[in-house]
Structure 1
Amino acid sequence: MRTAMCLAFVMAAAAGSAQAAGATPPAGPAEPAWPSPDWPAAAPAEVGLDAALLHQARDYALEGDGSGIILRHGRAVLRWGDPRALYDLKSSTKGIGVTALGLAMADGKVRSLDQPARTFHPTFGVPPEGNAATGWPERITLLHLATQTAGFAKPGGYTELLFQPGTKWSYSDGGPNWLAECLTLAYKKDVADLLFERVFEPIGIRRSDLVWRRNSYRPHEIDGLPRREFGSGISANVEAMSRIGYLYLRGGRWRDRQLLPREFVEMVRVVPEFVRGLPVLAPEQYGQASNHYGLLWWNNADGTLPDVPRDAYWTWGLYDSLTVVMPSLDLVIARAGKSLKRAAGGEHYGVLRPFLGAICRAATATAAAGPPCPPSPVIKQMAWAPPETIVRAARGSDNWPLTWGDDDALYGAYGDGRGFDPPVPQKLSMGLVRITGGPADFRGE
């Protein structure tokens, strides 16, 4: 059929131009790879990445020493430093700790993120006693705590409320620490044990890979249970960080087990509507954070980093510990060590540009040189039909994007025409069609 042959021609032409240019086409496996027990390795070119640009990113990261790993399609394409060295992740703990919120949603411990924190924690928000006088603690929800809009001051201890919940964005350790207490009380269980049993151990993280310290800012126990922090407190190696990132990349699924709700993972990586555009306290430190912050994970939803996909999101702590997830590029990046080099007076995200930008360009540079997608494992070659056999059953209609459905039919759209014979009465700016049959007896409807 004419439309199918046109599609085949486009695919063949793209492949031919790549071969003529001597490019290595990006290759992606049909199924994601998994560690067993270590990550399988691949050369950058094997997964469509430019090695020189990856090395540029690594060299920038090594200005702060430390360790790192870059995964594509579940394959380790670059490592540096000691993969088993433990690093104090500081605020990257926030993005790891909030994983317990996903479990609580799956288990029905949390019915809605709009539930007030007081539902779980009778003394929530107090001390200090001055917070009670505002009337605000009763109005703070779990969503406020997870989006840095609850209003607690920065330190991780018992801090004052700075504003009415949901009216501003302010980076805080205290707010996430209250969230950790709410989840501890909801489960009546140490959240560290909860996460090891339900998430960390199933994805291959041992207690020697990730250590959660005792609370440094509040009493060590709450209702006889360890009182963990979400604001900081986890030390881990980049191996553990990469596994957490890969779990999120795969939508909360690990092999054949759905460990986290996919809906929760989607919530983590986007900016809630009510947060977008809120005034930011200390914008000289945090920039336009309310436009690129999800549920205790940073993101690039507003395109602040122009070389980085807008669907990218990451945990980020002091000393620039990073677990980065890029769904559209099928990438996970983990890095920890000392602080990266900052320009004096630079913007908040500026320190990330040389690192993440080079990695993303490593993917797009190779993609630009080769065909737009990996070679098909099904369509091995093509052959032209004799011109006299070509049938035009939709004259005057153009622009034929096509896709195959699981019902063995082709689905397409045509522009500025009246479609297949018999044509529709009026010319359409865009029409939709289902095509069945074979080259000799196809029909559109």
Structure 2
Amino acid sequence: MQLVRQESKQFQTAVNHVTETFHTVVGTGAAFLVIQNNAIVCEQYWGRQGADANARVVQPDTQFHVASVRKSYIGFAVAYAVYHGHIDSIDDPVTKYLPMLDSLLMNGTTIRHLLTHTHGLHMREDRIYREFAPGTSWSYRGVGIEMLARIVEKTTGKTIAQILFEQVFQPLGFTQSGWYGNMNEKLVDVIRLSTDTSWRTSESTAGDQMNMYVSTRELAYWGYLHLKRGMIAGKQVVEKEIIDLATSLQSPALNDKDLPQNGFLWFVKDLPAKQTEIGDRVPKGSYQILGYTGVTLLVIPKHDLVAVRMFNSFGSPPGYDYLTDVRGFGDRIMHCLEDATSK
């Protein structure tokens, strides 16, 4: 898959924002790309893939560790399983598919709750416990992601990685997206704070672990696939119903209307919410996925736009507000659009 290039200076304000973030976080490489109206209109790269003086320069085939951005791929696999009837309904209880789990602890917990971070489960020292009743609040916890991966594998007989390869990567010619058990020259080194103990690696290539690396262009193309509802170059590569499931509002009605809203793990912009992770100026109908490496993928259908920023930083240094910064990224994109319209 390739799009034409029509370079524009329209997004310089957003470029400046990415540059500022790059100089604030602890990292050695960054990238930024915007697709609008079916063309790459802005693409820039900074720095090197690691801290070593001889480290490879960041370039189009550099693959960044995308951290939680991988959840959009897991969400796709769940939507695939729902569309093809492997999962009957996202309102099914989790124990219908994972009966080995504690039925008392899991009581009332559905696949919808896992997809929208409203399940209320947390894990500490290999023990799962409940923070709140399912469907009553929102909390960003990894235990739900692990359960979703297990449900997909059990119901489809395929791993997350196999589904993505067969349904997306192979049809679109993606060769710079995947889960890696070993490093190679195109993968960035992840630069992290010495005080951060949450980093981990994995040798699994099944798509169930946080070891996914994607190039800037292919992450943008992943967003573009969703923007176009699976239709690429006149061909319906992915059923539009799968994309619609993944990117539309799926969160249960919560009493606290200021909590974030989700589709199939994507953050979606629907009703005004103070705790949303999408910028205030970004319009309704947009959706976004982000990772702790600072990697962010934002899709704004209203403006036929996909924006990606990439960093090889992990964690938040003192004085850096991660969520404020990622909201600012979307708002800078909107500033660029609004400024162009006013002219």
TM-score w.r.t. length of structure 2: 0.77
1:233 pairs, out of 211, 236, 241, with: 211
The alpha carbon displacement at 1:341 in A equals 7.9
The alpha carbon displacement at 1:271 in A equals 3.6
Equivalent residue, structure 2, for 1:298: 267
Residue 179 of structure 2 is aligned to residue 211 of structure 1: yes
SS of 1:139 mapped into structure 2: coil
The alpha carbon displacement at 1:90 in A equals 1.2
Contact map agreement 2:113 2:119 (CA 8 A) in 1: yes
Root-mean-square deviation (Å): 3.2
Equivalent residue, structure 2, for 1:74: 38
The alpha carbon displacement at 1:259 in A equals 4.0
The alpha carbon displacement at 1:143 in A equals 0.8
Paired AA for residue 331 in structure 2: G
1:232-270 Cα offsets, whole Å, 9 max, x none, are 331221122111101111113233443444344334334
Q: Which has the larger radius of gyration?
A: 1
Equivalent residue, structure 2, for 1:262: 240
Matching of residues 265-344 of structure 1 within 5 Å: 265-272=243-250, 274-278=252-256, 288=258, 290-301=259-270, 302=272, 305-337=279-311, 338=313, 344=319
Cα 1:332–1:105 shift into 2, 3 Å: same
TM-score w.r.t. length of structure 1: 0.61
SS of 2:283 mapped into structure 1: coil
Contact map agreement 1:40 1:75 (CA 8 A) in 2: yes
Residue 107 of structure 2 is aligned to residue 107 of structure 1: no
Paired AA for residue 192 in structure 1: A
Cα 1:261–1:205 shift into 2, 3 Å: same
- Paired with 2:16 and 2:324, the residues of 1 have a C-alpha distance of 17
Paired AA for residue 208 in structure 2: E
- Paired with 1:69 and 1:51, the residues of 2 have a C-alpha distance of 10
For this pair of structures, how many residues does the alignment match?
304
Runs (5+) with no aligned partner, structure 1? 1-34, 126-130, 280-287, 370-445
SS of 2:129 mapped into structure 1: coil
Higher relative contact order (CA 8 A, sep 6+): 2
Cα 1:211–1:228 shift into 2, 3 Å: closer
Greater mean deviation of Cα atoms: 86-95 or 59-68: 59-68
Paired AA for residue 213 in structure 2: S
The alpha carbon displacement at 1:93 in A equals 1.1
1:283-328 Cα offsets, whole Å, 9 max, x none, are xxxxx4x343332112333265232222221111102111111100
- Paired with 1:320 and 1:102, the residues of 2 have a C-alpha distance of 26
- Paired with 2:253 and 2:330, the residues of 1 have a C-alpha distance of 25
Equivalent residue, structure 2, for 1:349: 323
Equivalent residue, structure 2, for 1:175: 144
Report sequence identity in percent: 19
Equivalent residue, structure 1, for 2:191: none
SS of 1:105 mapped into structure 2: helix
Equivalent residue, structure 1, for 2:15: 55
2:3 pairs, out of 39, 59, 72, with: 39
Residue 168 of structure 2 is aligned to residue 189 of structure 1: no
Contact map agreement 2:288 2:299 (CA 8 A) in 1: yes
